[in-house]
Amino acid sequence: MVNETPVRKAPRLPPTREASEAAAADRAAHRAARERRDAQVRGVPSIAAMREAIKAAARTLPAIAEVPRIEALDKAAFRARAAQGLPFLMTGVADRWPLAALTVQSLREHYSHLPVRARVGDYVSTAFAADRAMRDMGMLEYLDLVAAGTEGLPPYLGNLELRELNRLCHWPAYFDKVGPPRFWLGPAGTVTPLHCDYDDNVFAQVWGSKRIMLAPPHHDDFLYPNEANAILFGSPFDPECPDFDRFPLARQATTIECIVGPGDMLYVPAGWFHQVRALTFSLSSNRWARGMPLALGDGAALLAANSGEQPSA
């Protein structure tokens, strides 16, 4: 046996002040460029101005105690109702989609090859962090992992583009510009914690059921939001298990519970906080608009406020 002297590695030195400042400047420049692109896509002067306009419009809304359930709307009726700035649920929208005929077994038989990225571990407390725990695997491995059971939070397929499933969805053409369908699959107990997206959102519950807790945009002052990016803010407050000792301002926040079931489609206006928990094994899909939020109308007030002009009558 050869007795080798271990080689000592040189200690890793902390980055210099100049390097740290340069890295921070690069991150800031990247973020600013992204915000400019996002604003251009949505036809707004800036994402910050859009956020403030959404919250200002929300302050004029009537208080609601529940989310109204209505029959499916055509495009004109949907846009007219969405312009009011309040969430609503449409029944009988997704229950006839071919996707609704899928089962866990059919996923095993026909889509086992799909590559997926699962949220694992304590993905709630790190939901909006860049380094949250994820595992790449195939659909079959994910379903086997769920079937085996795990302690704590069950693994979750969330916010994935699964393009082979797109043809099984028949989305109403409610928005002029819209992002690709995103899919959410997992057993009871999977959860996306409280957050808000500053884009209009239609959420289709394909099978299973979920509890969605909602809070209006202008109550962000009570919900301790943290910025993930310019159009996504997370909140550490859990409206299903409120801790008012840690978050005393949350007593002033209005939260509304909504249960979505198979075939339901929920409209979540831009800026509305929402927390989503699966009550059963569930398959859901959503799409985010990529335009001026409908609650802002044609955006005349927003554009005028940014230019310092008065909106025309």
What backbone phi and psi angles, to 5 degrees, belong to 182? -115, 145
Two tokens, residue 136: 């790449």
Residue pointed to by tokens 């997926």: 116
pLDDT value of residue 309: 52
d(CA 55, CA 25): 30
pLDDT digits 0-9 by tens, 262-271: 999 999 999 9
Gap between the Cα atoms of 140 and 143, Å rounded:
5
User: Which CA distances in Å does 59 have to 100, 199, 219, 234?
Assistant: 38, 18, 9, 20
Closest Cα to residue 93, out of 109, 75, 79, 108? 75
Q: Is the pLDDT of residue 2 over 50?
A: no
Say whether pLDDT at 78 is over 90.
yes
**Is the pLDDT higher at 303 or at 275?**
275
Q: Does position 114 have pLDDT exceeding 90, yes or no?
A: yes
What integer is the mean pLDDT of 266-277? Answer: 98
The 10s digit of each residue's pLDDT in 9-62 is: 566 667 777 767 777 777 778 888 888 999 999 999 999 999 999 999 999 999
Reported as a pLDDT band with limits 50, 70 and 90, residue 8 is low
Q: Is residue 245 pLDDT above 90, yes or no?
A: yes
Residue 7 has pLDDT above 60, yes or no: no
**How confident is the model at residue 31, as a pLDDT?**
81
- Beta-carbon contacts of 298 under 8 Å, excluding residues fewer than 6 positions away, are 292
Averaged pLDDT of the chain: 91
Interval 285-304 mean pLDDT: 89
Task: Tell me what pLDDT residue 290 has.
Answer: 95
Contact criterion met (CB below 8 Å) for 198 and 47: yes
Cα 73-74-75 angle, rounded to 5 deg? 120
- Residue-by-residue DSSP string for the chain: ---PPPPPPPPPPPPPHHHHHHHHHHHHHHHHHHHHHHHHHHT-S-HHHHHHHHHHHHTTSPP-SS--EEE---HHHHHHHHTT---EEEESSSTTSGGGG--HHHHHHHSTT-EEEEE-SSTTTTTTSTT--EEEEEHHHHHHHHHH--SSSPPBEEEE--GGGGGG-------SSBPPPEEEEE-TT-EEEEEEESS-EEEEEEES-EEEEEE-GGGGGGS--EEEETTEEE----TTS--TTT-GGGGG---EEEEE-TT-EEEE-TT-EEEEEESSSEEEEEEEB-SS-GGGTTSHHHHHHHHTPPPP-
CA max distance for the chain: 91
Which residue has 């059921």 as its token pair? 209
Q: First-to-last CA distance in the chain? A: 91
Q: What is the pLDDT of residues 126-155, one digit of tens each?
A: 888 877 889 999 999 999 999 998 888 999
